[in-house]
Homo-oligomer: A and B are copies of this chain.
């Protein structure tokens, strides 16, 4: 049997760092096929994606991915743990992925595994510290960081030194650790594989050679610094990006949702705001007060604290936008993904799909319309899909061209197919 490597991605946009990762993955597992689980139109940072999921799928297929499965939005917009768990469960559910490949700072699996095992075992001192920090309102990564530091200083059962821990604690590694935790959690047989990141750091805004962070590339694009984009985004992805922009469907900026978000904040009762995930005690009144801000910039100025990072606030606003409350989210986290929504596949991916059909333990969805009408599909699955469709319908209102803002794109767009011999 051919090896199948799974990756978890946002490709916002697909850049040279992503290309490097895929090349390395192929070196590590020669002859492997690649399946990516990708966020749809909204990202883990609580932002709209630069261009829509179909365009990003097209770019990914042209750059070497064989199948793109959408990470349901209810997982895609969560903080690291929920995001990683939803993604790993999705790859597992294909029934054919046997490697999970992800980036990390040092490219060494062992220390990451050590932390992941430690966290997954949930030793009481660590669990207590983590709960404490979360209750204090720290963001998940910050709480994790503090809990681990505390136990490494005081506990006897923490196998890594405080210094090693400190060096490990970067955004990419946090996701890596969460993938490893998720693999353990579901006793997955997927083999973890980590690749050392090259070039610019996660938050670096400067390109280093031909590699820049996605954040840096997005900023360059909004500032119309096309030099950066040309240098750091491979030609197929760049062409698609520019085509979308020319069609008035990109770049989609959070600012395009300012009115919608401010109107929702102004309309929502404090109780409604308190019901949103990641909103803890007291935050609802601050949100309500900040709702008077004239624009998003002032809103974030008003709200941002050490406890409430910008990313966390943005996620909260997306929960509000989607009407995704604590109760709904905890149901989805408990239940896990309910379907495999295929956004696109290459010629090779087509053959893989027939294998998935026989092996997968979740339904394969290529067209949402019949799926949500199917009497055999559970209400929970339909509800999850409802959020994906709503997420697209709201995303469309952020397209720069008013003519492009028609809803129901999930029902109109066919699965993206790419055959290298035919296309381009």
Say whether A266 faces chain B, with CB atoms less than 8 Å apart: yes
Interface contact B402-A294, CB-CB below 8 Å? yes
Interface contact B323-A291, CB-CB below 8 Å? no
Say whether A197 faces chain B, with CB atoms less than 8 Å apart: no
Total interface residues on A, CB under 8 Å, equals 27
Q: Which of A244-274 contact B (CB under 8 A)?
A: 257, 259-260, 262-264, 266-267
Pick the contact of A294 from B262, B267, B404 — CB < 8 Å? B404
Q: Which of A199-256 contact B (CB under 8 A)?
A: none
Could you say which residues of chain B place their CB within 8 Å of the CB of A266?
390, 393-394, 397, 407
Q: How many copies does the complex hold?
A: 2
The 0/1 profile, CB within 8 Å of B marked 1, for residues 290-311 of chain A is 0111110000000000000000
Say whether A146 faces chain B, with CB atoms less than 8 Å apart: no
Closest chain-B Cβ to A373's Cβ sits at a distance in Å of 15
Could you say which residues of chain B place their CB within 8 Å of the CB of A396?
294
Pick the contact of A267 from B292, B390, B403, B404 — CB < 8 Å? B390
Could you say which residues of chain B place their CB within 8 Å of the CB of A402?
294-295
Interface contact B263-A405, CB-CB below 8 Å? no
Q: Which of A384-424 contact B (CB under 8 A)?
A: 390, 393-394, 396-397, 402-408
Q: Once the chains are docked, how many angstroms separate the CA of A213 from the CA of B267?
A: 33
Q: Once the chains are docked, how many angstroms separate the CA of A295 from the CA of B407?
A: 10
Taking beta carbons and an 8 Å cutoff, which residues of A are in contact with B?
257, 259-260, 262-264, 266-267, 291-295, 321, 323, 390, 393-394, 396-397, 402-408
Known: A257-B259, A260-B260, A294-B403. 12 other contacts (CB 8 A): A262-B405, A263-B264, A263-B397, A266-B397, A267-B390, A291-B407, A292-B407, A293-B406, A294-B396, A294-B402, A294-B405, A295-B405
Q: What are 16 A-B interface contacts by the 8 Å CB criterion?
A: A257-B259, A259-B259, A259-B397, A263-B263, A263-B264, A263-B397, A266-B390, A266-B394, A267-B321, A267-B323, A291-B393, A291-B407, A293-B406, A294-B402, A294-B405, A295-B405
